[in-house]
Amino acid sequence: MTAANDEPFDLVIRNVRVASGEAPVDIAVRSGRIAAMENNFRCDAIDEVDGRGYLAFPGFVDSHIHLDKACILDRCSICEGTLAEAVRETAKAKATFQENDVYARASGVVERAIAHGTVRMRTFVEIDPRAGFRSFAAIKRIREDYAFAVDIEICAFAQEGLTQEPETLAMLDAALSDGADLIGGCPYVDPDPEAHIEAIFALAIKHDVAVDFHLDFSLDPALTHLPQVITATRKHGWQGRVAIGHVTNLSALGVADIDEIADQLAESGIALTVLPATDLFLNGRSHDRLVPRGVAPAHRLARRGVVTSIATNNVLNPFTPYGDASLMRMANLYANVAQLAGDEDIAEVFAMVGASAARQLGKPHGLSVGQPATIVLLDAKDGVSAVREVARVVAGWKDGRQSFDNGRPRILRPNGRIERHDI
């Protein structure tokens, strides 16, 4: 043992569970990294925390959120509740966005996400002649200002088409030279979806970045651009760097068709994100009863090896007039809508807001010696219980520094006694 190792650790979080069914461990932290994980670890530490048997995991990963257009319900009207209306209403509002306005709304959402245990997110930011670079400038500031708690990557996003508006392409190109981390497209709003897909890939190749498409938002399996995305991914050798979001028409397919598509996605290294809150809100508006759910069966795809995630998408706007940026809630919503009951499926759902979502973003996600000490505590015995019970998020650390603390619930009995209660 060297002299340096005899010095006290910076932090030890005692009595936490890291794997289902195993005895609690103590996690010791030095210089922002996990230095030891052992049962009843004897050590001195500058800061010591009682983990009370909570589940410790590496935090939630939101693979798909739109910080720039969050919290604009007061500027939009929702009459139809359709995708077309949401795009139209948001485009109108977007033209009036100012940098400080975007910053204020986005920071509120990011702070809620932090308190809900999110440690990493991919945010889309619309860059086009209406938004200019104002939203982009604001979200770059957010990325920097909240790096103490959450790693944010910025996807420069063409929400309203490319081929009919070539200025957008040049603006996205400029953003990728100026701090955007990846490129996002939306073929279904473009008059020439195939050219749109190719233009997005051309930018990805030029800047050597990943691609994320909003894809196939309908209930009609015949209306699909998935074959073109698969072909382009293989042609350009972009396997492992392509994600697709929504793909709600998969909800209209039978198991055999889903399995066939799953195999193609797995072979092509294309990840899939479901956005249950939005997919449920916008789909099936022509039905006045037995409304289709419109949520792609991510768990079926995961079973065949597709990298899948569940994400927030929108918060309080015409795409989703609800939201609190809680991935714990979103995981539970998906499991409920997908009618899942078995532990294996529910464990996969927990991964879709954690380990699998991180894999989609090409980032590590694990608690072991040598890894960054980014740790979130959940009031649950394991991930399956967390999803079933919408577990309370207790506290979190990023790189060894505590980034939030939600306190402990208190039951106030009528006799006036104040009890701290371990629920």
- 261 burial class (0-12, 13-18, 19+ CB within 10 angstroms)? buried
Residue closer to Zn ion by CB (options 67, 232) is: 67
Q: Does 332 bind Zn ion (CB under 5 A)?
A: no
Q: Does 313 bind Zn ion (CB under 5 A)?
A: yes
Six token digits for residue 361:
């973003």
Residue closer to Zn ion by CB (options 248, 313) is: 313
Closest approach, Cβ 284 to Zn ion, in A, equals 18
In Å, what is the CA distance from 330 to each residue of 257, 311, 378?
26, 7, 15
Residue closer to Zn ion by CB (options 58, 184) is: 184
Nearest to Zn ion by Cβ — which residue?
Answer: 313
Three-class secondary structure assignment of 267-290: HHCEEEEECHHHHHHHCCCCCCCC
Q: Which range touches Zn ion (CB under 5 A), out of 77-85, 87-95, 307-315, 327-335?
A: 307-315
Q: Which range touches Zn ion (CB under 5 A), out of 15-23, 250-258, 312-320, 339-347?
A: 312-320
Residue closer to Zn ion by CB (options 313, 332) is: 313
Residue closer to Zn ion by CB (options 318, 372) is: 318
Closest approach, Cβ 32 to Zn ion, in A, equals 32
Q: In the window 377-396, what residues touch Zn ion (CB under 5 A)?
A: none
**Kind of pairing, strands 60-65 and 118-126?**
parallel
Residue closer to Zn ion by CB (options 63, 233) is: 63
Closest approach, Cβ 14 to Zn ion, in A, equals 40
Closest approach, Cβ 310 to Zn ion, in A, equals 13
Closest approach, Cβ 120 to Zn ion, in A, equals 17
Residue closer to Zn ion by CB (options 224, 313) is: 313
Closest approach, Cβ 383 to Zn ion, in A, equals 25
Residue closer to Zn ion by CB (options 56, 361) is: 361
Residue 280, amino acid = L
Q: Which range touches Zn ion (CB under 5 A), out of 30-38, 73-81, 141-149, 313-321?
A: 313-321
The length of the chain is: 423
Residue closer to Zn ion by CB (options 15, 159) is: 159
CA 252 to CA 248: how far, in whole Å?
8
Interface with Zn ion: number of residues (CB under 5 A): 1
Q: Which range touches Zn ion (CB under 5 A), out of 287-295, 308-316, 328-336, 390-398?
A: 308-316
Closest approach, Cβ 244 to Zn ion, in A, equals 11
Closest approach, Cβ 92 to Zn ion, in A, equals 18
Q: In the window 216-255, what residues touch Zn ion (CB under 5 A)?
A: none
Closest approach, Cβ 69 to Zn ion, in A, equals 9
Q: Which range touches Zn ion (CB under 5 A), out of 41-49, 171-179, 218-226, 310-318?
A: 310-318
Closest approach, Cβ 205 to Zn ion, in A, equals 23
> Do residues 270 and 233 make contact, with C-beta atoms less than 8 angstroms apart?
yes
CA 248 to CA 23: how far, in whole Å?
41
Q: Does 63 bind Zn ion (CB under 5 A)?
A: no
Q: Footprint of Zn ion on this chain (CB under 5 A)?
A: 313
